[in-house]
Every structure is written in structure tokens, then in C-alpha cells.
Amino acid sequence: MTKLSGQERIKEKKTALSFFSDYKNLLQCVPGIKQINGKKFVIEASLGPLRAELTGEVKSYEFEGDVVKNLLEVQGPGLVVAIRTEVRLGENSLEWTADYTMEGSLAKALSNTISKQAEEVSRRIISCSISKINQS
């Protein structure tokens, strides 16, 4: 398991609460998203020299008070990546943590590449979310 964290500035908590109240807003920020069908989605991803179409699902999405917790699972041939994120909202900032795990034969063969990709995806989801919150 690899863990990332950070703190970001937001314009106002009310807008962030509205954004995070719907998991579909989070899915709109997943890089390479091609299709969304309820809690399931399809993404196109580069895994080192390979390009693959992967399927994913929002396994859990909890929004309670000022805390949002979610679990996204992405699957492909020989690969299962689970990304768990927690966001804590303050008046003009949010603190986030993300951790991910990888399983499968492809994950073992390309562990460094996939690890970097999972980290980049986590950071891009947060960055996109902040951008959308601060645009409103």
C-alpha cells in the first residue's frame, strides 16, 4: 500500500460540500474517463508501453459532515487497483489522503510503472476537484 496526502486551498466550503455531495462529480475528474454508467466506468489508460481500456467501479462513497471517503476499483487484464481517498473540508482548505493497492500478474510485472500511474491519477483527481470547486 502506498499513501499520499496533501492540503489544498478552496474558495469556500459551501461549494466544496456541494461538489462532493455527488460521486458523479468525482468520476468526471478521473483521467481518461470514456464512459460512466451509474457507479461503473470505463477508462483508457497507459501502463508504461501498453495502452489498455480498463473498467472501474465506485465501490463505496461516504459523505458525512465535513468528511468524504471513497473507494474506486479499476480492473484490467492481470490488474486490480484499489484507490481509497479521504477528504476533510475546512472553511478555506481541504486535507486529503489517498492510498492504493495493486494486485495481479500485470501489477507485479509493471509494479513501478503502475505505481507511478496510480499516484498520478490520485493527484489529478484531487487537482481537478479543486479546480472545479474554485471555478464555481
How buried is 136 (Cβ within 10 angstroms: 0-12 exposed, 13-18 middle, 19+ buried)?
exposed
Residue 112 in this model has a pLDDT that exceeds 90: no
pLDDT at 136: 66
Average pLDDT of the residues in 107-130:
82
Domain count within the chain: 1
Integer angstrom CA distances of residue 18 from 23, 44, 59, 112: 11, 28, 21, 36
Domain range enclosing 107: 2-135
Q: What is the CATH number of the domain that holds 105?
A: 3.30.530.20
Tell me: the pLDDT tens digits for 14-41? 999 999 999 999 999 999 999 999 999 9
Q: Report the number of secondary-structure helices (H) and strands (E) in the chain.
A: 4, 7
Residue 43 in this model has a pLDDT that exceeds 90: yes
Whole-angstrom Cα Rg for the chain: 15
The pLDDT > 90 percentage for the chain reads 65
